[in-house]
Amino acid sequence: MGIKNRLIIMNFFQFFIWGAWLLTIGAYWFQTKQWSGTEFGAIFSTMGIASLFMPAIAGIIADRWINAEKLYGIFHICGGFVLLGVPMINDPSTMFWVMLLNMMFYMPTIALSITIAYSALKNKGINIITEYPPIRVWGTVGFIVALWIVSLSGFETSAMQFYVAAAASFFLGIYAFSLPQCPPLDKGQKKSLADSLGLKAFKLFKNAKMAVFFIFAMLLGAALQLTNAYGDTFLHDFAKVPEFKDLLAVKFPAIIMSISQISETLFILTIPFFLRRFGIKNVMLFSMVAWVLRFGLFAYGNPSNGLWMIILSCIIYGMAFDFFNISGSLFVETQSNPEIRASSQGVFMMMTNGFGAVFGSRISGIVIDRYFKTAEGFNWHGIWLAFAAYSLVVAVLFAVLFKHKHDPSELETVSL
């Protein structure tokens, strides 16, 4: 099997695991368990807490001691065992600790999968700019397939979604050991104490441009967690309104939300063109504006005559997510030395899915409970408008504060 197909399988199951529960855990939490928004914010923050340190630690280990593909496989197998225990939990506090452990195994695999893919493609002399996005798009396909399986099987509000994720995690963990070898590049060299601990990647913060980039990575990471946490249960809530309860969008909200991931598959393929034509800064700015539209359309949409707004919001999500996450990882690659490639991607993940997720999940849960929840339920119109206003402020600040001149030749360095 060719290297591209092998990486396609890796990406497919990498995001299949997440897609099996990420968007539907809110429905399981609120509709089945009927636990509070503040508690849910704590649960959703587990991926952020884990990302504060696990991707960076995993990057250090992969740069210094263990092949990235082997570490990747070990993490997925361990994560599968933890997922098997989730359905047995009956209280929010225990759920928090179990999901935190699960995220400690899963979150570093995202950065490791990028490291493995970039390494394998470079070793074959394949251009990453043009060839990686079509490979990564299969991760989105995996996310979509998982969503559809969970939704059509009636698992959206059921604990069965975690068993589906566990099965995929076991498969990928075993498969990982067959991937191309990605040995440590920083092994066997004399190092200072800081370098031996793999802390060189944090020196990127000394560069003002990189520091600003990482701050905005955190702020955009918060926006991503908002849509992941509340999108599915937002549509489920329309079941409480008699005129909406029998509509397909309310019965199968995960199917509607999967349009977001379908859109991802299309926008990923446009990234090479947009990067070369507009440059990394503008591509990331397009992402931030897209987040404003994403939340604004949700605020005014409904499953009936406003369904077009919800669908358009899901289409826009593809640009909002891909244009920052993919171009951001490529930007980090261009600014990092090869010997800290995994550590640098780990820092990027730490800022987006670490600090960003904690900030977005915890604060949003508290704010929603305090200002947007009544005896009748959630004020979704106000919630989405507040999120849109937040994203607009981030976009304006990014346009002003992030200084980066477009240089097409810089992007070519990641294909060597």
Token look-up 């977005």 returns: 360
Say if CB 201 and CB 208 are below 8 A apart: no
Q: Specify the DSSP element, H or E, that contains 11.
A: helix 3-19
Q: Specify the DSSP element, H or E, that contains 371.
A: helix 356-371
- Summarize pLDDT for 45-96 with one digit per residue, the tens: 787 788 777 766 777 777 778 888 888 999 999 999 999 998 888 888 888 8
Q: Calculate the alpha carbon distances from 55 to 99, 108, 198, 224, 284 in Å.
A: 16, 4, 12, 18, 22
What pLDDT is stored for residue 186 in this prediction? 56
Using the predicted structure, report yes or no on whether residue 229 has a pLDDT greater than 90: no
% of the chain exceeding 70 in pLDDT: 87
CA dist., res. 248 & res. 412, Å (int): 46
- The phi, psi pair for 204, rounded to 5°, reads -60, -25
- The phi, psi pair for 402, rounded to 5°, reads -85, 115
Q: Please work out, in degrees rounded to the nearest 5, the angle formed at the alpha carbon of residue 37 by the alpha carbons of 91 and 382.
A: 170
Nearest residue to 94 (alpha-carbon basis) of 33, 170, 157: 33
- SS3 at position 314: helix
What pTM does this model have? 0.70
Using the predicted structure, report yes or no on whether residue 378 has a pLDDT greater than 70: yes
Say if CB 12 and CB 139 are below 8 A apart: yes
CA dist., res. 309 & res. 384, Å (int): 13
* Residue 9 CB coordination number (10 Å): 17
User: Domain boundaries in the chain?
Assistant: 7-181+195-415
Residue 147 CA to its chain's centroid (Å)? 15
- Summarize pLDDT for 23-32 with one digit per residue, the tens: 788 777 776 7
- Give the 3-state DSSP-derived string for 224-264, with helices as H, strands as E and coil as C: HHHHHHHHHHHHHHHHHCCCCCCCHHHHCHHHHHHHHHHHH
Token look-up 């997925």 returns: 76
Pick the CATH number of 7-181+195-415 from 1.20.1250.20, 3.20.20.70, 1.10.579.10, 3.20.80.10: 1.20.1250.20
Q: Calculate the alpha carbon distances from 132 to 59, 135, 176, 265 in Å.
A: 20, 5, 18, 12
Using the predicted structure, report yes or no on whether residue 409 has a pLDDT greater than 80: no
What pLDDT is stored for residue 415 in this prediction? 45
- SS3 at position 188: coil
Q: Please work out, in degrees rounded to the nearest 5, the angle formed at the alpha carbon of residue 339 by the alpha carbons of 335 and 341.
A: 50
Tokens of 169: 């995690």
Using the predicted structure, report yes or no on whether residue 342 has a pLDDT greater than 80: no
